[in-house]
Amino acid sequence: MIGVAFVQRTDARDESTLRPRMRSRGTQPAINSVTISGPYNVTGSGDSPSRRRIFVCRPGSAAEELPCARRILSTLARRAYRRPSTEADLKDLLPFYAQGRKSNFDLGIQKALERLLVSSQFLFRIEREPSTVAAGAPYRVSDLELASRLSFFIWSSIPDDELLDAAVAGRLTDPKSLEQQVRRMLADRRSESLVTNFAAQWLYLRDIAAKQPDEILFADFDETLRAAMLRETELFVDSVLRENRSVLDLLTANYTFLNERLARHYGVPNIKGSWFRRVTFPEGSVRGGLLGQGSVLTITSYSTRTSPVLRGKWVLENLLSAAPPPPPADVPALKTETAPGKPLTLRDAMIQHRAAPACAACHARMDPIGFAMENFDAVGRWRDRDGEQTIDASGVFPEGTKFEGIPGLKKVLLGQPEQFVGTVAERLLMYAVGRNLQYYDAPTVRAVMRESKPANYTFASLVLGVVKSRPFQMREAGSE
């Protein structure tokens, strides 16, 4: 691992060292690029795990070169094309090997590998319809195609040899064998990509890269903190998967993962170093779960202030699948003063704003959620006051349900746990099949929830339910 930082300015260093090329978010300095040169005067091709994976054999003589090349290329084609390699595959690759072999054997394999990597069979997931299926009829995808769906869903990568072997043998048709493969893949560290990519899509975590809190109001915010916020949420969601915990713990867990930079931001003492470690919060802490994490709180704020509307909408849409409709086109700007020099509290400003009948219906559900999160500022720090005003974190839903702050909001959300679990199931299915869900997918979502309930809605049980579902395992003839 290589770290890069600005050096302390002293007379002992020349100006070119002290003034690197920089690219900045606003006025904050940042490293634009780092160039590492070398190694120099290298002799031989070297050795590495990746080279050993490619060169599964080494020719001992000129007569052994072509058979060895065929073995290497057929092995590579099997992995890259996610199916058993054929003589036709080798027929495409061997001319490129022969061209490179004029220099040496390794260059021949390199040229053939370059050709393989631009093949449509590598670049695209091709699912062929059986000739016996009528147009518009549903059919089950082949085991090899199901293996690719599995690996890209759980690993965001190609199937490994064990999964391919199971597909070639037709074992993925057997529910027990399929479940065994899913559990094996979830236990593999490569499943971390499911957590990071799924969480980024579901929770909008990628939006944090575009957030730029005001540099005067939030001078302590920097790129190190931004990265730490993102990593906290990734590690937290990953722990729910690794420990086979209920997805409800995403709301209620009393722990998170912090390094020194993020702990200082949260006001958590005695955390030293840049590495992340698990930290358990004391009883009654507001930090447990997604709603107390800086990534979520920052992406649901403006650059200068919090937004009860953005936070309420985020909770409704991403945790409850109850997104409000888009606002009308002529919504007036929020008034923050009754007169020059007489500011309104954010709560009073929102009350006036939603007095219009066109705004009231949506704001009646969004605003109470957002107000419950108001003790967190626009970059997720805890506060008791906003300027000179004491923060009122109480909320009341239209049906009369009252709650106070983050603890009260969590109790309301957990009052109907199926609504949150259903949202996770929906988003997992959407991520797995690569499309938006439609009304006819609702029975599938309910089935995934029903089958995972005996396991207390663990992350793994929801993944398994998605894998067993008809949308994941089947296609419609003629569909794209």
DSSP string for residues in 165-186: HHHHTTGGGSHHHHHHHHHHHH
- The pLDDT value recorded for residue 45 is 72
User: Rounded to an integer, what distance in angstroms lies between the CA atom of residue 123 and that of residue 156?
Assistant: 14
Query: 122 to each of 55, 82, 168, 194, 278, how far by Cα in Å?
Result: 19, 8, 18, 21, 40
Label residue 347 by pLDDT band (50, 70, 90).
low
**Residue 293 burial (10 A CB sphere; 0-12, 13-18, 19+):** buried
DSSP state letter for 236: H
- The pLDDT value recorded for residue 350 is 65
Task: For 136-164, write each residue's pLDDT tens digit.
Answer: 899 999 999 999 999 999 999 999 999 99
Q: Which residue has the tokens 């888009």?
A: 326
pLDDT at residue 386 greater than cutoff 70:
yes
Lowest mean pLDDT among 89-98, 127-136, 243-252, 335-344: 335-344
Task: For 155-190, write each residue's pLDDT tens digit.
Answer: 999 999 999 999 999 999 999 999 999 999 999 999
Task: Output the pTM of the full model.
Answer: 0.84
- The pLDDT value recorded for residue 355 is 60
Question: Which pair of structure tokens corresponds to residue 111?
Answer: 């040229």
User: Rounded to an integer, what distance in angstroms lies between the CA atom of residue 281 and that of residue 383?
Assistant: 18
- The pLDDT value recorded for residue 76 is 97
- The pLDDT value recorded for residue 4 is 72
User: Rounded to an integer, what distance in angstroms lies between the CA atom of residue 308 and that of residue 306?
Assistant: 7
Residue 386 — φ and ψ, nearest 5°?
-110, 100
Label residue 105 by pLDDT band (50, 70, 90).
very high
Label residue 22 by pLDDT band (50, 70, 90).
very low
